[in-house]
Amino acid sequence: MAKHRFTPTRYHNTLGTAEPCLHVSDGDTVVTDTVDASGLDAHEVTVASRPNPMTGPFFIEGAEPGDTLAVTIERLTPSRATGWTYSPLAVSVLDPASIPDRPKVERAVWRIDNNAGTVRLAEPPPGLEHFAPAIAPMIGCFGVAPPLGQAFSTATSAQNGGNMDYRLFAPGTTAWFPVSVPGALFYLGDGHACQGDGEIVGTGIETSFEMEVTLKVLKRSINWPRGETADDIFTVGNARPLDQALQHATTEMSRWLGEDFGLDARAAAHLMGQVVRYDVGNVFNPAYTVACRIAKRWLTRA
Amino acid sequence: MAKHRFTPTRYHNTLGTAEPCLHVSDGDTVVTDTVDASGLDAHEVTVASRPNPMTGPFFIEGAEPGDTLAVTIERLTPSRATGWTYSPLAVSVLDPASIPDRPKVERAVWRIDNNAGTVRLAEPPPGLEHFAPAIAPMIGCFGVAPPLGQAFSTATSAQNGGNMDYRLFAPGTTAWFPVSVPGALFYLGDGHACQGDGEIVGTGIETSFEMEVTLKVLKRSINWPRGETADDIFTVGNARPLDQALQHATTEMSRWLGEDFGLDARAAAHLMGQVVRYDVGNVFNPAYTVACRIAKRWLTRA
Amino acid sequence: MAKHRFTPTRYHNTLGTAEPCLHVSDGDTVVTDTVDASGLDAHEVTVASRPNPMTGPFFIEGAEPGDTLAVTIERLTPSRATGWTYSPLAVSVLDPASIPDRPKVERAVWRIDNNAGTVRLAEPPPGLEHFAPAIAPMIGCFGVAPPLGQAFSTATSAQNGGNMDYRLFAPGTTAWFPVSVPGALFYLGDGHACQGDGEIVGTGIETSFEMEVTLKVLKRSINWPRGETADDIFTVGNARPLDQALQHATTEMSRWLGEDFGLDARAAAHLMGQVVRYDVGNVFNPAYTVACRIAKRWLTRA
Amino acid sequence: MAKHRFTPTRYHNTLGTAEPCLHVSDGDTVVTDTVDASGLDAHEVTVASRPNPMTGPFFIEGAEPGDTLAVTIERLTPSRATGWTYSPLAVSVLDPASIPDRPKVERAVWRIDNNAGTVRLAEPPPGLEHFAPAIAPMIGCFGVAPPLGQAFSTATSAQNGGNMDYRLFAPGTTAWFPVSVPGALFYLGDGHACQGDGEIVGTGIETSFEMEVTLKVLKRSINWPRGETADDIFTVGNARPLDQALQHATTEMSRWLGEDFGLDARAAAHLMGQVVRYDVGNVFNPAYTVACRIAKRWLTRA
């Protein structure tokens, strides 16, 4: 259970079958640096190009196609004092008829105050002078190599993870990804200091991070990313339209309730029908993201 | 500010321009009975036919086209000790390829225990013997007459409200509907003793209720239903696919932030981008429902 | 088999359960006038309000819920020399990111030359000076009262027909609608002198018409509109997104091949898989329209 | 303008940046063999694995990122006497509620009779004993390497082409693809002896082919695949839902009318509004395909 400190020197704009940056053992922890969505590092120097440059890939010894990679997000520490967002709202979340009236796209800077634990617009518009939500760090894009020798842009997401932009990929969460190649080839980056549901301005508060993750191989198969927090389990579907993302996530959750919690399809439906929660990861990227979430207090491992 | 006790003798399967059952004044409170989605009343007698038989319409004096009807949900009391649901999961929330494998649709009975404050399956399948979520009453279907002399089935929803099946239409919430006809013509029914997001088994726990609502006329215009709880404001879009419902709700929220909270389109985007929450009302009915929600602690009325 | 000449004095903006304008017998023919989408009659006088004012409803003796109304379009004659369209392309058919760059919506006038058999822009922009497609008259909106006492705006469409804006609803075509109320209550209007697929500028060439239709009652049930031309049979689905409209139309065609042409689900699939054609009616209205079409030369009535 | 005869020895399941199988000059013609969707060659021997094994990639000298590759389909000759399809209809084209009733998926064999010029089911079900549509060969999957070092499964399609399953990719058509890497890296395969719109049984009549194509480099940029037949020009969008595929195709056509035919956005809309045709390529694959088509008789090159 070694802990590795890895400093990247190159970055990737696809999740694919690239040369590993580091080999680690099953159960090891990695501490590494990530740059922001536009390639700016901790010194606000551009060291990589868009979209969403990734650190990695990490080769996890023992991971084989058909396995699952469990990634525990131990810590996400912003490595500089500023982040940025776009405004106004993205065209994907607006009534099309209202799009011509929206203002031009601009980039805004946010101050990340680690002492206060808040983010604030550097130049707040009227009405937002006191707007200072808590820092709520999350990983926007991470995942493993997809099957078939494919390679997907880090702008999008699929069964192997990718640019899901889901708030609950946050410290304390363990994310599961389906392994398709030997070593899994795990990538991570695109950290956000804060983000509402849907990434509806096209960004979270984009900044560079020091990220710490623990990587474990599970000898079991999954179809779509899954996750576990202190309170919840969840499954993630990535597709367009949102309906299809929700179908993937819901079907995967029903499967999980059968595999680990002893509920057949009918029992799973009775439970989910009363307690399921849906979260919208992103509704901006080429594939949208929906999470299907259930509080663990309703569940007993079989 | 009178309080009326109204006992319905007929029910409606559309929201349209029907003969009012009662005229009330602006600000009055109505206590009335609703039957369940299949027309069963408090005595489990079928007194109306599907879909979702509505009590009403109530004519609110002074409500004119272009106004807004504010409906405060004062109290929702189940009026019998049983409700029912369907299983398994609805075809609309499953990967189409998995549909052939799901079991047949069956109806299940739930015990509504007002003393314990819980609902329980009458015949729980293995693994759900102890499953007893809290009673969380909500209105599945309510709203006002649509414009143009239209009349919509209570199976669906639109800008006038209808079958939205959203959990936050619960006691303590005030819902707003756009008025299209003199008197607004307000209908309500389809109460659920409990329901997760999405109404993904095709029902909540369907039962009859005594409902108490206060009806006020606001001399302002809205495009889509809005709501306010103790903690949040929210807007509601009803359409297919979910993407379009989300677009309606998001655009309406941006408008609201401008009207009442002094935020222009860019400022609204900065706020929403960090703190917005999306909820899925239903993903089962002909129109799906998405709510765009913001905590009131982020807002100051202008 | 009488032929009626009916001159309307009022128009309808919904398909619903209105007072019949005329009672006709099963098999009768009706010759009547329709106004354009904005209510302009043959004299370019505004006699009705938007959207799509309908002539009707005609009560067909003997039509009962569960029957089918067959409407043969005998003749569609433009009743004035001008029509109008919008430009540019509707937001519903454009990449959302390109919407801010499109020019403002304008209304253009077209000359309808019955002698030449063509339509021409009154003020053609550069490059379209010689653009004169053939007059190809079609009915934009027609159908029958929906079930349950519902009434739908003539801006949209559903299982009862409505604003489908499909090119093949043209002279020589017989359209079928599912009857939900006694007498069927048939409405028609919104004639177009010409229109491409999709009604992608938000209009066809909108003008007033003299329309002649023959109305027959079939003692059989259908779920969605169907049609027959000299060469083809087709089914029509109305919904959003297009995927769902296509699913309705395809499922209805498979059913039809079983009912009338002796093909079970597998045989219908073998045939449709090789020869089916899909047409896009509209991709502009609240419900989109897809037709599933098969050439009659592949079919033998069972 | 050399003509090359290339016999493949390996096949690819992605469109990506693989080692070229052959370098050809701008304007050269290639004659080569393709295997069917499941990897069966002209001798019905399995020589490659699913999905859609591709012949290629061909490196075209002089092709640079930002250019366009024009692929003229000179000839498509089935290289064996049988092909296969699935039945029944795919779940993607059926009302979800009707899916449980469809029969199980089976594979059927078709006889390809080059003398008669027809295809016939080897074991026709009742009603299809005489069903023998004409051989209408087409390319199901072809295209070039995508940008960013991505690699996409040949099950799907995107801006670089791929598995579009569009009938008009047939002999006589010239298809255009946007070049993203030096040499373009052109792949082809997945030939169909016949196929209706939508590939609605999940296959065309899948068989092996000898294909002959001419490859030219155009020093111009496009965003989405384009094509030209004897009668029409067309653009192709690949996405889900169909609405989005249609938006891509329509936007690209409007652009093309400006670039080559002297029509600004408003004039393009006037033309397209009256004469556009939409075709559905596939409504089965992960990305659906819609073509936007205009007859050349309406156009004058500027």
Task: Give the amino acid at B169.
Answer: F
Q: What number is the average pLDDT over the span C268-282? A: 98
D227 vs C160: CA distance, rounded Å: 38
- E strand or H helix at D287: none
Give me the total of CB pairs closer than 8 Å, taking one residue from chain A and one from chain C.
20
Give B239's strand partners: B288
Q: Does the CB of D92 have a partner CB in chain B at under 8 Å?
A: yes
Residues 6+ apart with CB under 8 A from A68: A176, A177, A178, A179, A217, A218, A220, A221, A222
CATH of domain D226-298: 3.10.28.20
CB–CB contact B100 D96 (8 Å): no
Q: Does the CB of B273 have a partner CB in chain D at under 8 Å?
A: no
B56 vs B61: CA distance, rounded Å: 15
B139 vs B127: CA distance, rounded Å: 29
Q: Are B218 and B68 in contact (CB under 8 A)?
A: yes
User: How large a percentage of chain B has pLDDT more than 90?
Assistant: 99
DSSP string, chain C: --EEEE--S--BSEESSPPPSEEE-TT-EEEEEE--TTSB-TTS-B-S-SS-PEEEEEEETT--TT-EEEEEEEEEEE-SSEEEEEES--GGGS-GGGGGGSPPPEEEEEEEETTTTEEEESSPPTT-TT--PBP--EEEEEEEPPGGG-BEETTSEETTEEE---TTSSTT-EEEEE--STT--EEEEEEES---TBTTTS-SSB--EEEEEEEEEESS--SS-EEE-SSEEEEEEEESSHHHHHHHHHHHHHHHHHHHH---HHHHHHHHHHH-EEEE-BSSSSSEEEEEEEEGGG----
**Regions in chain D scoring below 50 on pLDDT:** none
Give me the total of CB pairs closer than 8 Å, taking one residue from chain B and one from chain C.
37
Q: Which residues of B touch D91 (CB under 8 A)?
A: 96-97, 99
Give which of B278, B290, B301 to mutate to test A binding, by max A Cβ within 10 Å: B278
Q: In terms of CA atoms, which chain B residue is nearest residue D101?
A: B100
Nearest CA-CA distance, residue B96 and chain C, Å: 12
Q: Does the CB of B100 have a partner CB in chain D at under 8 Å?
A: yes
Q: In terms of CA atoms, which chain D residue is nearest residue A92?
A: D244
**Which chains form contacts with chain C, at 3 or more CB pairs under 8 Å?**
A, B, D
Checking A216-219 for CB contacts under 8 A at 24+ apart, the result is A216/A26, A216/A27, A216/A69, A216/A70, A216/A72, A217/A26, A217/A60, A217/A62, A217/A63, A217/A67, A217/A68, A217/A69, A217/A70, A217/A179, A217/A184, A218/A67, A218/A68, A218/A69, A218/A70, A218/A176, A219/A67
Domain boundaries, chain A: 3-81+135-218, 226-298
Q: Checking phi first, is residue A7 left (phi over 0); if not, alpha (psi -120 to 50) or beta?
A: beta
CB–CB contact D150 A151 (8 Å): yes
- E strand or H helix at A206: none
Nearest CA-CA distance, residue B138 and chain A, Å: 12
Q: What CA dihedral angle connects D221, D224, D228 and D229, to 10 degrees?
A: 160
Q: Radius of gyration over alpha carbons of chain C, in Å? A: 19
Q: Quick one: pLDDT at residue C301?
A: 87
Q: Are D73 and D200 in contact (CB under 8 A)?
A: no
Nearest CA-CA distance, residue A4 and chain B, Å: 33
Q: Would you tell me how many other CB atoms lie within 10 Å of the CB of residue A176?
A: 23
Binning pLDDT at 50, 70 and 90, where does residue C211 land?
very high
The maximal CA–CA distance of chain C, rounded, in angstroms, is: 55
User: How large a percentage of chain A has pLDDT more than 70?
Assistant: 100
Provide the chain B residues 38-67 that lie in CB contact (below 8 A) with chain A: none
Q: Which residues of C touch A288 (CB under 8 A)?
A: none
Q: Would you tell me how many other CB atoms lie within 10 Å of the CB of residue D46?
A: 13
User: Domain B3-81+135-218: which CATH class?
Assistant: mainly beta
Q: Does the CB of D240 have a partner CB in chain A at under 8 Å?
A: yes
**For residue B286, is the peptide bond before it cis, meaning its omega torsion is within 30 degrees of 0?**
no
D197 vs D282: CA distance, rounded Å: 7
Q: In terms of CA atoms, which chain A residue is nearest residue B94?
A: A247
Q: Which residue has the tokens 């499967």?
A: A255
Indicate the average pLDDT of chain B.
98
Task: State both tokens at B174.
Answer: 């005030």
Q: Which residue has the tokens 């003199």?
A: B182
Residue whose C-alpha is closest to residue A249's, from A154, A181, A157, A183: A157
Give me the total of CB pairs closer than 8 Å, taking one residue from chain A and one from chain D.
37
Q: Checking phi first, is residue D243 left (phi over 0); if not, alpha (psi -120 to 50) or beta?
A: alpha
CB–CB contact A131 B194 (8 Å): no
Q: Quick one: pLDDT at residue B228?
A: 98
End-to-end CA distance of chain D: 28
Nearest CA-CA distance, residue A95 and chain B, Å: 5
Q: Radius of gyration over alpha carbons of chain D, in Å? A: 19
Using CB atoms, which residue from B87, B103, B266 is nearest to A87?
Answer: B266
C150 vs C169: CA distance, rounded Å: 24
Residues 6+ apart with CB under 8 A from D74: D29, D171, D212, D213, D214
Nearest CA-CA distance, residue C241 and chain A, Å: 9
Q: Quick one: pLDDT at residue A1?
A: 85
Q: Quick one: pLDDT at residue A302?
A: 77
**For residue D182, is the peptide bond before it cis, meaning its omega torsion is within 30 degrees of 0?**
no
Q: In terms of CA atoms, which chain A residue is nearest residue D243?
A: A241
CB–CB contact C153 B152 (8 Å): no
**Regions in chain B scoring below 50 on pLDDT:** none
pLDDT at C249 over 80: yes
C242-261 vs D242-261: helix axis angle to the nearest 10?
Answer: 110
Q: Does the CB of A102 have a partner CB in chain C at under 8 Å?
A: yes
Q: Checking phi first, is residue D165 left (phi over 0); if not, alpha (psi -120 to 50) or beta?
A: left
Buried b (16+ CB within 10 A) or exposed e, C136-165: bbbbbbbbbbbbbbbbbbbbbbbbbbbbbb
What 3-state DSSP class applies to B72?
A: strand
User: How large a percentage of chain D has pLDDT more than 90?
Assistant: 99
Q: In terms of CA atoms, which chain C residue is nearest residue A243?
A: C241
Half-sphere exposure in the Cβ direction for D249 (13 Å, CA): 33
Q: Quick one: pLDDT at residue A17?
A: 95
CB–CB contact A100 C99 (8 Å): yes
Give which of D93, D99, D106 to mutate to test B binding, by max B Cβ within 10 Å: D99
pLDDT at C106 over 80: yes
DSSP string, A29-55: EEEEEE--TTSB-TTS-B-S-SS-PEE
Q: What number is the average pLDDT over the span C66-76? A: 98
CB–CB contact A151 D240 (8 Å): no
Q: Which residue has the tokens 């003796």?
A: C61
Q: Which residues of A touch C96 (CB under 8 A)?
A: 91-92, 94, 96, 99
Q: What is the pLDDT of residues C14-56, one digit of tens each?
A: 999 999 999 999 999 999 999 999 999 999 999 999 999 999 9
Q: What number is the average pLDDT over the span C197-217? A: 98
Nearest CA-CA distance, residue D240 and chain C, Å: 9
- E strand or H helix at D208: none
- Strand B82-87 to B157-158 pairing: unpaired
Report which DSSP code applies to B96. G
CB–CB contact B92 D92 (8 Å): no
- E strand or H helix at A67: none
Nearest CA-CA distance, residue D203 and chain C, Å: 8
Using CB atoms, which residue from B97, B99, B241 is nearest to D100?
Answer: B99
Indicate the average pLDDT of chain C.
98
Q: Quick one: pLDDT at residue A256?
A: 98
Half-sphere exposure in the Cβ direction for A235 (13 Å, CA): 22
Provide the chain D residues 131-190 that lie in CB contact (below 8 A) with chain B: none
CB–CB contact C96 A100 (8 Å): no
CB–CB contact A91 C99 (8 Å): yes
Q: Which residues of C touch B151 (CB under 8 A)?
A: 16, 149-151
Q: What is the pLDDT of residues B112-157, one digit of tens each?
A: 999 999 999 999 999 999 999 999 999 999 999 999 999 999 999 9
**For residue B57, is the peptide bond before it cis, meaning its omega torsion is within 30 degrees of 0?**
yes
Report which DSSP code applies to A134. B
C195 vs C76: CA distance, rounded Å: 14
Residue whose C-alpha is closest to residue B176's, from B268, B291, B288, B4: B291
Task: State both tokens at D92.
Answer: 């993607």
D73 vs D140: CA distance, rounded Å: 12
**For residue D51, is the peptide bond before it cis, meaning its omega torsion is within 30 degrees of 0?**
yes
